[in-house]
Amino acid sequence: MGENVPSVLLSSGWKMPIVALGTATQPLPHQVLTSTFIDAIEVGYRHFDTAALYKTEEPLGHAVAEALRRGLIGTRDNLFITSKLWCTDAHPDLVVPALKNTLRKLGLEYVDLYLVHVPARLKKGEMVYPFNKEDLLPFDMRGTWEAMEECSRLGLAKSIGVSNFDCEKLSQLLGHATIPPAVNQVKLNAACQQRKLIDFCKEKGIHVSAWSPLGANGTRWGSTAVMDSPILKEIALAKGKTVALRWIYEQGASVVVKSFNKGRMKENLQIFGWELSGEELNKISQIPQQRGFPDFLQESYILFMVLEPHSSNESLKVQMATESFAPSSLPIIQTTSSSQPLPNNLIAINSNTLPLKLTSSNYSSWQAQLDALLLGYGLVGFVDGTYPCSSPSIEENGKKSPKPKYLFWIRQDKLLFLAILGSITDTIAPMVSRSKTS
């Protein structure tokens, strides 16, 4: 039955089965996992998606060996194995050793696809999730990707790619990559359609793979928006098919599904040989959209610490995701909230312009003067643009004031200015998602 699942030709020249079985799960005995993966091979799955963080590489390796022993597959080449580099190993000197450790656990000589799990780096150490934001380090994209390319050259990974990268980060990566990413695995479903990202990846020859295709209900990052959608329910009832998965396939993307129930495994493979009508596709396009970045990334502050080249002889280190941000000599406008004084580096820029604390009573003055300050930077070509975002109002003494939010970009993809008024998780993350992925 695995032969009935079509494959996509990646830019690396290798073919990848469209449907993968995801292996991220709550802790289960290895024997249970191995048995489940063997069931999946029997059902027809030929693509398995794992990661160092999932701690499922070893039982998956045992399943591959057992499938070979039973004759369920002819050779190891009949399977496509994807794994991922976790943030604690996203250091140039640790990437190759991390993949070798993955291969040791899998009992394989190579993986078919190796992905950078998240565009972030953590201090070296034990893989734990959730992690402390204090462990976040600036992400060395160039150095990490060069090490990924070395994995490819050594034959440890047939294809390399990324996961959870938006258009901006992909642009940065493509600017220096010798081997472009073959795949970008992202949150993609009918309630998070990622239209801009899909179009960008198609233009650049990067295949999009969807995690959370059914919404990942029951997980801390999931929602019921897909499974409870009246539109999807109506179409699924009429067709008797898994419409949500078929929709992703018709966008040109592959899917990572997860069910350890053998009957559901079979059902999730039944997305070929039929189509959605134009009217049905139009209805699905009208489903209310959620933000593109997963909540658990936003809550972990992954999006808000970057290290990017600023000129030929210096680096710009932008660190903003924490209210304990250290003062810097660089002109950075840091995240601020109504309950916190403005950071020293902002005061240093314009100490006589802005009040030290934002309240409902001085908000209008604060906004007007900040706008004027940014306009000045724009006139001298220092700021490319601002992205407004509505958010909950500040309330003080029964008074409310609407709070626009700003994201500032300098010189194309170099993030320099970030000024936010409000809660970091309620404000920054939705704004970054909309400005980058909508």
377 labelled catalytic: no
d(CA 293, CA 186): 8
Q: Which of 54, 249, 301, 377 is catalytic?
A: 54
Per-residue tokens: 163: 């996961």
For residues 215 and 242, the answer to whether their CB atoms sit within 8 Å is no
Per-residue tokens: 290: 């959620």
d(CA 357, CA 421): 11
| Residues sharing a CB contact under 8 Å with residue 206, sequence separation 6 or more, in sequence order | 11, 161, 170, 180, 181, 182, 183, 184
**What DSSP element (H or E) covers 318?**
strand 314-319
Task: Please write down the long-range contacts of 381-387, taking CB distance under 8 Å and 24 or more positions apart.
Answer: 382/410, 383/408, 383/409, 383/410, 383/416, 383/417, 384/408, 384/409, 384/410, 384/411, 384/412, 385/409, 387/431, 387/434, 387/435
d(CA 291, CA 181): 24
**Beta-carbon count within 10 A of 290 CB:** 19
Minimal CA–CA distance to 191: which of 292, 283, 295, 289? 289
For residues 186 and 162, the answer to whether their CB atoms sit within 8 Å is no
**Beta-carbon count within 10 A of 354 CB:** 19
For residues 313 and 129, the answer to whether their CB atoms sit within 8 Å is no
d(CA 185, CA 294): 12
d(CA 21, CA 387): 38
Residue 233 sits at φ, ψ, to 5 deg, of -60, -40
d(CA 404, CA 160): 40
d(CA 88, CA 322): 20
Angle at 213 between CA 209 and CA 217, to 5 degrees: 140
Beta 207-211 vs 385-386: how paired, if at all? unpaired
Minimal CA–CA distance to 25: which of 290, 294, 336, 258? 258
Active site residues: 54
